[in-house]
Amino acid sequence: MQQASKAVKDSVRELSRSSAQKTARHDYALAMPTSRRPVARTAIVTGILAALFLAALPSVPAKAATAWGSEPSANTNASLGNQLAGLSCVSATDCWSVGWADNASGFSQTLAEEWNGSQWQIFPSPSPGGSSENNGLYAVTCVTASDCWAVGWYENASGDDLTLIEYWNGSAWSQSASPTPGTLTSGSTFGITCTNTIVCLNGVTCPSASDCWAVGYYGDSAGDTQTLALQWNGTSWSQVATVNPSGSAANNGFNGGVSCLSASNCWAVGWHVQTQVITLAEQWNGTSWSQVSTVDPSASYDSLFGLACTSSSMCLAVGRYGPGPDLPLAEEWNGTAWSQVTAPAVGTGNNILYGITCASAADCWAAGYSTDTSGFTQTLLEQWNGTAFAPASSPDTSTSETNVLFSTYCWSDASCIAAGGGASTTGSVMQTLILAYTPDLVVSATLVGSTLSFVTAPANVIFPAVTLNGPDQTTTTVEALDIGDNTGSGAGWNVTLSNTPFTSGANILSNADFTVPSTPTAVCDAPVTCTLASWSSSVTYPYALPGATATKLLSANAGSGLANQTISVPWQGSFPADAYSGTYSSTWTITLAAGP
């Protein structure tokens, strides 16, 4: 995972389905006496299981956003300005953050502090400009716990701005020789990331221990800034030619966003000037840097600061755009082109995103600041979900003081930290600010859907014997259909029925003589928890046997009829007085299928 960091000074300038049929032979007996001795006969019903199979439906746990919280961090002095700009971690118990801290004379000195799993602790770091000049670190990256690089700038005694690169060997920080091209004298500055300096390294990343890149800008002889890329080859740092699309007579620069997927695939982002300030992205192919077109929503004051890449077809760059107020700018690389993606502004003031890091391609955090209605800058954190950014709540030292975040770092488990500065409520002195984010622990339980079926085959249906005695007669019985909807889909279900005529030899009874006169009832099978079927209006009662064309006997609404339950179907037989005695049989076909 690559991450970029960037900073400004205390003033903050930039502020399916299948169904099976069940065939049942229903032999309904209608006993008619042929003498004074009644003869009762019983009908037998045999059944074949009808089943419906639905694909398994795994649960999809939703991650609830957990608020960011502030964590104690170290400062050189509670009454002097301290800020953190860059972040890098090799584990959850080994992180570095770098920046600067003011001394008693008001000159900034380099600041480096390490997280050891329980606290942030300051370690000495070189300030080669001395205590009477400004020094600062803006970015850090670690290959291992004993192989880290930090970059920035410093002023020498003559007031010249110089690149600054420092190395951590596991025991101490030391300065590493680095070239500073161009003029060393002061001139017009366009340091968007590093305030009041014409030379600055503001981003660093290492695809391997023997291959690192430090990026930023430097001043040319006219006092304009140009893009700067220094490469570490395992022995020394040297300048590598970059693209300056605006030419030597205008400003160009990298803003700290740099990320490498391999030794032959790196990106760096920033700005350049063509009438107005617009975005810049350059790609390293292992041999040379080349410019790649980016998006400029306002084409007036657009700039990219932070960069994170998870693959060759997924990078996110963040920054700001617009002539005022500044709005958050986010652009995505899809392997072919850069395009703008949604990054909402908070409030009506300035919004700038400085740093970004990704736990995965669909989980990234960008950090920066927004300006509230009172004109105070407040921390800004926005989360990428794979499609768009959305703001999240983040703490501030005070709503009446300056707060800003410059960098973020996330682990693969989606826990993250962010670094910057916040003014204390007493004296309005900027102090280091560390925020931490731990996502909710999501424990998933998967329910796999199975089948829709008759739990048991439909039982024999026996009408009580009826003796012909002159008038028309009726008799009733109840059929129990034990249905189990264990698909977990809530699609509802239906039972259709067709039948052959009721015959006894050459004698036939009318289908209309057999009906379900009233609505069936449903009860859960013991000891099952179920959602009882509620009936769709597509089936009305009384229901008459349909004959050869199947019609719906039962129709359970979607969201009902879940789990095992017994449906009691009341049947009524109506027998005319002039019927012939005998045992009348009919074959029924019952089909159980999904959907009302």
pLDDT for res 11: 26
Residue 47 has pLDDT above 70, yes or no: no
Separation CA 251–CA 226 (nearest Å): 6
- Closest to 381 measured CA to CA, from 412, 419, 349, 337: 419
Which SS3 state, helix, strand or coil, does residue 346 take?
coil
Terminal CA-CA length for the chain = 51
Instruction: Decide if pLDDT at 57 tops 90.
Output: no
d(CA 589, CA 568): 18
pLDDT digits (tens, 9 = 90+) for 178-195: 999 976 554 444 445 676
Q: Which residues pair with 226 in a beta bridge?
A: 218
Mean pLDDT estimate for the chain: 86
154-180 pLDDT, tens digit each: 999 988 899 999 999 999 999 999 999
Q: In the prediction, which pLDDT does 196 show?
A: 66
d(CA 8, CA 379): 14
Q: CA 152, CA 146: separation in Å to the nearest integer?
A: 20
CATH number, domain 69-437: 2.120.10.70
Residue 214, pLDDT above cutoff 80: yes
Bridge partners of 105, per DSSP, are none
Residue 512, phi then psi, degrees to nearest 5: -65, -15
The answer to whether the beta carbons of residues 295 and 331 sit under 8 Å apart is: yes
Enter the pTM of the model. Answer: 0.69
pLDDT at 221: 77
Give CA–CA dist 96/115, Å, rounded: 6
Percent share of the chain, pLDDT over 90: 73
- Cβ atoms of 397 and 424 closer than 8 Å: yes
DSSP of 421-481: EEE-TTTT-EEEEEEEE-------------EEEESSPPPP--PPP----SS-EEEEEEEEE
Please report, for the chain, the start and end positions of each structural domain, with discontinuous segments joined by +.
18-60+447-594, 69-437
